[in-house]
A and B are shown apart, each in its own frame.
Chain A
Amino acid sequence: MSVSETTTARDISSKGAAGVRMRGVTKAFGQNVVLRDLDLEVAPGEKVVVIGPSGSGKTTILRTTMTLERIDAGTIEVGGRHLYHESVNGKLRPAREKHIREVRSDIGMVFQHFNLFPHMTALENIMLAPMKVHGKSRQEAQALGVELLDKVGLAHAVNQTPGQLSGGQKQRVAIARSLACEPKVMLFDEVTSALDPELVGEVLNVLRDIAEEGRTTMMLVTHEMGFAREMADRVLMFDGGQIIESGPPAEVLGSPQHERTKAFLGAVKSH
């Protein structure tokens, strides 16, 4: 992967995974520095779980990658292409929106609070981006939408609006909606945190399915430690704006080295 790719260079397979590389990323909200010179590399197809105390800014890692928050310093690359920069005559310059939008097409995100469009049915929620962004016909988008709803076990919910669905169902529609864009990198921001306990399983099952297909790079912020242990390739402990510990789940969750990781896991387990 070269450091400065042009905007035209694309991965060869359109559905393949893409890696994420953050270099010296800094993000502050006023006086509060949330990401502090953060370096992070996620390999194509890798499943990475980010854990850490609440308010530590784990979510900001995902939000800056989704371009929902702009970074103050550093670089982010997705699939070998700079997200916030363009190389002009070999030099990196802040990217124009057009470039950002092009790179962003590789990224998808699922939110804690679902953020489904309440004025559309489940199917229409899924059809919107394929039609408006990817130029699919209504028929193609419908077929894709029905297929994805089947896949997340919601074949019966095609015509239902978000208001008629349970939290778990909403989140599964939201996942299907994101999948419809065939992202190479999927970001999951505490996607089970807003759910009643008995609805968490159905959403985790869908995440397992996506992980098992293996094509998509997944970055998850979650408090579901059991789930992290089972499906993550790597667990990152995030605190104080930086990753303080990183490794296979058995290591980081089983025998943490860092004091703050131990303290955090102790606090989580004591529930």
Chain B
Amino acid sequence: MESWLLSGSQYRLLLEASGTTLQILAYAFLLGIVLSLVVGIARLSERAWVRGLALVFVEFARGISSIILLFIVAIAIPILFGAEQAPLILLSAIALGINMGGYGAEIIRGGIQAVPKGQTEASISLNLGPAQRLRHVVLPQALTIILPPMGNLTIEILKGTALVSLVGMTDIMQMARNIRQQQLADAVGTQPVLFLNVLVLYFILAQVINLLFKVAEAWLAKRYEGGPALTGTELEAIR
């Protein structure tokens, strides 16, 4: 085999398609995080019907295979509602975001529950309201527990984006197929080299996500070492 590399123009095509993949991932991530937070917190609500609804969502989002969910959201629903013009990229992201929300909600719930009860009790004794307790006391501490599995989940969703090639999006996976067709037509290049390169591309993207989460974790850990300190002069001014 003469080369493990693809041609420059092929890399350019894959890079272009990476843009689509990352865009879908970004939208799915945003929706997924919001759903995770809302549903994860709702899972711990004092109201039974809120807890019930949240549980139904979680089981629904986790129980349906992502590809079926994708076909339902991106193809079936637009046909049913006569909205076939709706942007496919958003529909795909919604399907993946719902999927992420189901798993993410359980991560958030677990993170919140792992914060010692005494923290909530102390904030009740200071008369903080339920939302303030969550915002200022519980969630900041839960975040250290939430971040690592949330990073894993995000990488899962990145890999899940390859499914959108099946509903007509030109993401990395679809572009790889296109290139393959071209290779077959031109009788140049080999599939092992092509898919090996695609594999490395996904791997690099996953590592970038990994790195971003590691940076976030390090930033968070730093807050436990001292927080924003008052300088001596600031202190003097107060005294």
**Residue A163 at the chain B interface, CB threshold 8 Å:** yes
Distance in angstroms between the alpha carbons of A146 and B235 in the assembled complex: 8
* Of A41-49, A85-93, A113-121, the one touching chain B: A113-121
Find out whether the CB atom of A159 lies under 8 angstroms from the CB atom of B230: yes
Find out whether the CB atom of A161 lies under 8 angstroms from the CB atom of B137: no
Known contacts A113-B118, A115-B119; A159 and B227 CB within 8 A of each other: yes
Find out whether the CB atom of A142 lies under 8 angstroms from the CB atom of B230: yes
**Residue A143 at the chain B interface, CB threshold 8 Å:** yes
Chain A residue contacts of B137, Cβ below 8 A: 117, 128
Find out whether the CB atom of B125 lies under 8 angstroms from the CB atom of A109: yes
Chain A residue contacts of B121, Cβ below 8 A: 66, 68, 109, 111, 115
Minimum distance in angstroms from B120 CB to a CB of chain A = 9
Minimum distance in angstroms from A188 CB to a CB of chain B = 11
Minimum distance in angstroms from B142 CB to a CB of chain A = 10
**A141-154 near B? 1/0 per residue, CB < 8 Å:** 01100100010000
Among B126, B137, B227, residue most surrounded by chain A Cβ atoms (within 10 Å): B126
**B105-133 near A? 1/0 per residue, CB < 8 Å:** 00000000000101101111111110010
Find out whether the CB atom of A66 lies under 8 angstroms from the CB atom of B140: no
**Residue B174 at the chain A interface, CB threshold 8 Å:** no
A120-147, CB < 8 A from B: 120-121, 123-124, 128-129, 132-133, 139, 142-143, 146
Distance in angstroms between the alpha carbons of A120 and B228 in the assembled complex: 9
**Residue A67 at the chain B interface, CB threshold 8 Å:** yes
**Residue B87 at the chain A interface, CB threshold 8 Å:** no
**Residue A105 at the chain B interface, CB threshold 8 Å:** yes
**Residue B80 at the chain A interface, CB threshold 8 Å:** no
Distance in angstroms between the alpha carbons of A160 and B235 in the assembled complex: 14
Distance in angstroms between the alpha carbons of A118 and B235 in the assembled complex: 22
**Residue B225 at the chain A interface, CB threshold 8 Å:** yes
Minimum distance in angstroms from B104 CB to a CB of chain A = 22
- Give which listed residue, A68, A139, A158, contacts B124 with CB less than 8 A: A68
Size of the chain B interface, CB-CB below 8 angstroms? 28
**Residue A260 at the chain B interface, CB threshold 8 Å:** no
Known contacts A132-B136, A146-B239; A105 and B127 CB within 8 A of each other: yes
Distance in angstroms between the alpha carbons of A179 and B223 in the assembled complex: 25
Find out whether the CB atom of B125 lies under 8 angstroms from the CB atom of A101: no
Find out whether the CB atom of B132 lies under 8 angstroms from the CB atom of A119: no
A56-72, CB < 8 A from B: 66-68
- Give which listed residue, A67, A68, A129, A146, contacts B128 with CB less than 8 A: A129
Distance in angstroms between the alpha carbons of A139 and B239 in the assembled complex: 12
Which chain B residue shows the least CB distance to A133? B127
**Residue B224 at the chain A interface, CB threshold 8 Å:** yes
Distance in angstroms between the alpha carbons of A123 and B123 in the assembled complex: 15
Known contacts A111-B118, A146-B235; A128 and B128 CB within 8 A of each other: yes
**Residue A108 at the chain B interface, CB threshold 8 Å:** yes
Find out whether the CB atom of B129 lies under 8 angstroms from the CB atom of A101: yes
Find out whether the CB atom of A128 lies under 8 angstroms from the CB atom of B230: no
Chain A residue contacts of B123, Cβ below 8 A: 117
**Residue B82 at the chain A interface, CB threshold 8 Å:** no
- Give which listed residue, B116, B125, B132, B228, contacts A66 with CB less than 8 A: B125
Minimum distance in angstroms from B154 CB to a CB of chain A = 23
Chain A residue contacts of B229, Cβ below 8 A: 121, 159
Which chain B residue shows the least CB distance to A150? B239
Known contacts A159-B227, A159-B229, A163-B224; A132 and B125 CB within 8 A of each other: no
Chain B residue contacts of A159, Cβ below 8 A: 226-227, 229-230
**Residue B238 at the chain A interface, CB threshold 8 Å:** yes
Known contacts A108-B125, A128-B128, A128-B136; A161 and B226 CB within 8 A of each other: yes
**Residue B141 at the chain A interface, CB threshold 8 Å:** yes
B74-120, CB < 8 A from A: 116, 118-119
Minimum distance in angstroms from A136 CB to a CB of chain B = 13
Distance in angstroms between the alpha carbons of A132 and B132 in the assembled complex: 8
**Interchain residue pairs with CB less than 8 A apart (21):** A66-B124, A68-B121, A68-B125, A101-B127, A107-B125, A111-B125, A117-B119, A117-B141, A118-B141, A119-B227, A121-B228, A128-B126, A128-B137, A132-B128, A133-B128, A133-B132, A146-B235, A146-B239, A161-B224, A164-B226, A177-B126
**Residue A225 at the chain B interface, CB threshold 8 Å:** no
**B199-218 near A? 1/0 per residue, CB < 8 Å:** 00000000000000000000
